[in-house]
Amino acid sequence: MHMTLRQLQVFDAVARHLNYTRAAEELHMTQPAVSGHIRQMAEQLGVPLIEQVGKRLHLTEAGEEVQKAALDVINRTEELEMRLADLA
């Protein structure tokens, strides 16, 4: 399993908004690029992360776990950047 920080950031935005278009706007990406990142992550992990019921998106149980991990990685990366900036 190999996920990039960018994929985790994209997943976090989609998970927060539960909307590909809003996530794309936040990240200054196209909607197809965002959905492609999510599709690639699901393929890599071998489990669906998001399901669509009608027009609404919902995180699967696996998606909820990935969101928790994504937030942890993103927060730790931001902390590291601040600590390194303090040392510079």
Reported pTM? 0.89
**Polymer length of the chain:** 88
Positions in the chain short of pLDDT 50: none
Contact between 11 and 37 under an 8 Å Cβ cutoff? The reply is yes
**Which pLDDT belongs to residue 2?**
84
Distance CA 47, CA 52 (A): 14
Q: Are 24 and 34 in contact (CB under 8 A)?
A: yes
pLDDT of residue 1: 67
Distance CA 55, CA 77 (A): 33
